[in-house]
Amino acid sequence: MSSRRPALAFILVTLALDVLGIGVIIPILPKLVEQFEGGSVAEASGSYGLLSASYSLMQFGFAPLLGCLSDRFGRRPVILASLFGAGVDYFLMAWAPSLGWFFVARIISGVTGANFAAAAAYIADISPPEKRAAHFGLIGAAFGLGFILGPALGGFLGGYGLRVPFVVAGVITLLNWLYGWWVLPESLPPELRRRVSWDRANPVGALLRLGRYPRVLNLAAVHFLIQLAHQSLPSTWVLYTGYRYGWSVRQTGISLAIVGLMAAVVQGGLTRFLIPRLGEGRAVLMGLVVSAGSFAGYGLATEGWMIYAILIVGSLGGITNPAVQSWVSRSVGADEQGGVQGSLTSLASLAGVAGPPLMTWIFGVFVSDGTSLRLPGAAFFCSGLLVSWAAVMAWGILRRNQVEGVP
């Protein structure tokens, strides 16, 4: 147990750094792209969208491969190699001389960021079944922490130069890699390793192979709907709150910090108490119902102060993801954790590619001058419907498992 504690801490710090890297970029990358485009905001917005899509596409493509490599060679080498690559990539972004080089850097970032699959498999390896949900909840806490620190670090250090945050993030990441080199033991014993096959390592084949596990396939569909629904938050939050409530950049930043803080509290603390008592299936249902209500609340809130109350209550929906991951991990063998977690990561990345243009298009349609129905919260209502659909599917899975006597 004592060797697991520093290993778990290292994995969580690594995942927090993955999210911190995303957060660091939020306040500074648009300005950098604008500089590369000669000050043209219109051209910069298009390039920025392509940069975001390239990151998600690389995660979609490489998450199953890294997951399968971790099933073959162990979690440790995959995690450490991707972490080292991420550290070097920060320095590439710090000195990228052109927009083309920035695309190269973001592609590398997407590949190295796909280490989530190996990290999630590592947590499944070292966690007894009764503690997996709590440990997967700590992943959400790490994400929340990274999301709090990332934008703050990027905004603060960006005042000293738009490239400075990349240098600092690179140094922190490489120091974590060096620390992991000494403290991270391998979690997958040799007898549980399996060969890499192309049908498992490519994203399409990995998703198709989920069909071998009917329960996992259905849970993966629930997972995808959840991830797609939540794309309305990062893609339209600033647009919506500015349009409807006239929020400033500072007010938006405060609200995002609360999102990260509540994610850390709920997924890092409450999940370890709620999910064992409710069970994964009931926890998923509870989280989805809360999420559906919070999305509806965002779209209906007439005053900005209401958003803060909804954020706090709606954060309870954060128990959904760790409960789904734990539910999935209990449905496959130890030698397939990496591949299945890689498939889930690919689904989340696919939602990250499709969701933002869908949600921003819906928002734009219902706030345009020519619309006959002005409904700025339409994207959130769409997310509420998607989450409700996921809840119906999860309820069906739970009922079927109860009939079959499956936990």
Instruction: Give pTM, 2 decimals.
Output: 0.69
Amino acid at 67: G
In the structure encoding, which two tokens stand for residue 327, read together? 């539910």
Segment 229-255 mean pLDDT: 79
Burial 215-244 (b: 16+ CB within 10 A, else e): bbbbbbbbbbbbbbbbbbbbbbbbbbbeeb
Euclidean distance between CA atoms 236 and 363, whole angstroms: 7
Q: Taking 60 as the threshold, does the pLDDT of residue 46 lie above it?
A: no
Mean pLDDT over the full length of the chain: 80
pLDDT in tens, 375-404: 989 999 999 999 999 999 999 988 887 766
- State the Cα–Cα distance between residues 4 and 128, nearest whole angstrom: 12
Residue position matching structure tokens 């989340």: 348
CA–CA distance, 37 with 41 (Å, rounded to integer)? 8
Query: Cβ neighbours of residue 128 under 8 Å, at least 6 residues apart?
Result: none
Whether the Cβ atoms of residue 390 and residue 222 lie closer than 8 Å to each other: yes
CA nearest 186: which of 4, 384, 32?
4
Domains and CATH numbers, the chain: 4-187+200-404 (1.20.1250.20)
Tens of pLDDT along 127-156? 887 777 677 777 777 777 777 777 677 767
